[in-house]
Structure 1
Amino acid sequence: MRLERQLGETVVMVGEEPHKLRFRALAEGSLHLRSKLKRDDLDNVSYMEGEHYIVDYDEGTIRRQPGSSIPDWSEHSTYGKTEFNHSDYANYSNRRFTLYTDYQYLRPDDDSEAESSPSMPGALSLLCKKLEQGEAITYVVFGDSISTGAEASGESMKYYHLFAAAVRERFPAASIQVRMKAVGGESSQGGLERLYRDVLSERPDLVTIGYGMNDQNRRSDGTNAVPPEQFGKNISRMIDDIRQHTKASIILITPCLPNPHWKYASSNPTEYAEVLRKLGADKQVAVADLQQIWLEELSAGKTPESLLLNNVNHPNDYGHLLYARALERLIPGESDLS
């Protein structure tokens, strides 16, 4: 067994029900709970174990004490509702209910969950060579609102900045310039239409492509906004055009999952990640499989509201950290985001 740290995990508690943390076998007394990601934020509130909450260190759960000042998600406007339309509510955010926790936990020596094999890492060999040689790298972030960093608490917590910072740490001689070219509310169709203007014109060395969330949206007739087959054609065309006009390395990012109780969440969001995985294999393109990590979080007991700050489809700071971790796994070297 080895002792590891979990930093900035988000929790949302309902009544006095136990909320499952990502890991079990916590080190006794190691958990700290607060209202803000950064402890030194002026309006941060620190909560006290025993007074405000109780931890089961063996089971890896946390729950509110009766009468605790910890926000109770059962008071949220969408609590208990299915097929909810966010447009029906003045405030559907989880911001007020989202807390942050750090703790230590014991991981078995043979547990390789965090070391899952990346998809097509060899596709990034040219990028890694440039980084090793200290070349200037232009990194274009392409995608929808998640890729703009929507709901992150600050610039430094947007997944692409976390990723770029980790790469700079590993390759201190390299210079990485980030070019934000994502557009909120956009599907892969919209991205394809502006690829030449917003991506190819930057002459990038690296492009991350993050689409799928808006493509999967369920329309009133039950169909997807962009069907999986067309989604695959759009992303395939992006890959081909980027390769034709640049020497950029490409990383496809599988999307997180929307809140299944949201009116516009489709029944087949995982198909879009499968499309990207297949494209990665067929075209020898690297894939940052965030959705697999997301599913692991949910399987461990994390709830949609503890991962989505807007309670619909935008990850919170912990979710952005997961995105960055999926990307960083593709780059050689020790993890800076564990």
Structure 2
Amino acid sequence: MLVTAFTLILMCAPTHAATVLILGDSLSAGYGMSEDQGWVQLLRNELPQNNIVNGSVSGETTAGGLRRLPNLLESSQPDLVVIELGGNDGLRGFPPNQLKLNLTKIIEISTAHGAKVLLTEIMVPPNYGPRYSKSFTQTYHQLAEEYNIKLIPFFMQKIATDTNLMQRDGIHPNEQAQASITQWMLPWITQELSD
């Protein structure tokens, strides 16, 4: 109820039409469902006055997102870049320092292009070991602090433990989870656009 009320207050605040680029992987690309069922499309429905560009690709790593970023920035000219990348880096066991280097470049290129940046926290499954898991997630907190950007808590934390909200692979959220993801992301994005 509080989140909904907060969201309504933010949505009523005067804002200009803005372009938001979602730079993500399968969690934002709507893997396993039609595009109009994914949370990014639901976000478009919530923010019809803004241009929401989904630059997400299933299987994407931070390195892949970094390679695609310049063209996405040029074509969309975003006011805000929401970075939802790193899950595939973690699943492949890539070292956290490589993750940090790629995310650092993504942040710097986005801000140099004149866009604000929101970073989404990513966590890896606990079976990767506590040392790797902690180091991996801390990377996002370090970057948020170093670049003074807001860090969105990982939207899959509660969803991943609910089998009713997950696809059979146990990795991807299903159609029923998409509205929850949208409501999780919406106030962060709306607040950033209104600042």
Scaled by the length of structure 2, what TM-score is found? 0.76
- 2:40 and 2:54 in contact (8 A); partners too: no
Other-structure match for 1:52? none
1:197 pairs with 2:71: yes
Going by fraction, where is strand more abundant, 1 or 2?
1
1:139 is paired with a residue whose SS is strand
- Please give the alpha-carbon distance, in whole angstroms, between the structure 2 residues aligned to 1:187 and 1:307: 24
Alpha-carbon distance, 1:244 to partner: 0.8
1:254 pairs with 2:134: no
Other-structure match for 1:166? 46
- Please give the alpha-carbon distance, in whole angstroms, between the structure 1 residues aligned to 2:29 and 2:91: 18
Going by fraction, where is helix more abundant, 1 or 2?
2
- 1:209 and 1:251 in contact (8 A); partners too: yes
Other-structure match for 2:185? 327
AA aligned to 1:328 is: L
- Please give the alpha-carbon distance, in whole angstroms, between the structure 1 residues aligned to 2:103 and 2:179: 24
Other-structure match for 1:92? none
- Equivalent in 107, 111, 117 of residue 243 of structure 1: 111
2:58 is paired with a residue whose SS is coil
Runs of at least 5 residues in structure 1 that lack an aligned partner in the other structure: 5-111, 116-127, 169-174, 219-223, 333-338
Structure 1 residues 156, 271: closer, same or farther in 2, change over 3 A?
farther
AA aligned to 1:164 is: R
Superposition map of 1:245-284 within 5 A: 245-246=113-114, 248-255=115-122, 266-267=128-129, 268-269=132-133, 271-284=135-148
Alpha-carbon distance, 1:256 to partner: 6.0
- Please give the alpha-carbon distance, in whole angstroms, between the structure 2 residues aligned to 1:242 and 1:188: 14
- 2:30 and 2:39 in contact (8 A); partners too: yes
Other-structure match for 2:60? 186
Alpha-carbon distance, 1:296 to partner: 4.7
AA aligned to 1:266 is: Y
How many residue pairs end up in the alignment?
A: 181
- Please give the alpha-carbon distance, in whole angstroms, between the structure 2 residues aligned to 1:139 and 1:314: 23
Alpha-carbon distance, 1:200 to partner: 3.9
Runs of at least 5 residues in structure 2 that lack an aligned partner in the other structure: 5-9
Scaled by the length of structure 1, what TM-score is found? 0.47
- Please give the alpha-carbon distance, in whole angstroms, between the structure 1 residues aligned to 2:17 and 2:28: 22
Alpha-carbon distance, 1:184 to partner: 1.3
1:311 pairs with 2:192: no
Higher relative contact order, structure no. (Cα contacts within 8 Å, ≥ 6 residues apart):
2
AA aligned to 1:186 is: E
- Please give the alpha-carbon distance, in whole angstroms, between the structure 2 residues aligned to 1:329 and 1:273: 22
Superposition map of 1:150-165 within 5 A: 150-152=31-33, 154-165=34-45
Superposition map of 1:1-338 within 5 A: 132-133=14-15, 135-152=16-33, 154-168=34-48, 175-218=49-92, 224=93, 226-246=94-114, 248-255=115-122, 266-267=128-129, 268-269=132-133, 271-291=135-155, 294-296=156-158, 302-303=161-162, 305-330=163-188, 331-332=190-191
Deviations 1:54-99 (A, max 9, x none): xxxxxxxxxxxxxxxxxxxxxxxxxxxxxxxxxxxxxxxxxxxxxx
Structure 1 residues 324, 255: closer, same or farther in 2, change over 3 A?
farther
2:50 is paired with a residue whose SS is strand
- 1:228 and 1:272 in contact (8 A); partners too: yes
Alpha-carbon distance, 1:216 to partner: 0.5
Alpha-carbon distance, 1:257 to partner: 5.2
- Please give the alpha-carbon distance, in whole angstroms, between the structure 2 residues aligned to 1:278 and 1:329: 22
- 2:159 and 2:173 in contact (8 A); partners too: no
Task: Report runs of 4+ in structure 1 exceeding 4 Å deviation.
Answer: none
- Please give the alpha-carbon distance, in whole angstroms, between the structure 2 residues aligned to 1:316 and 1:187: 21
AA aligned to 2:40 is: Y
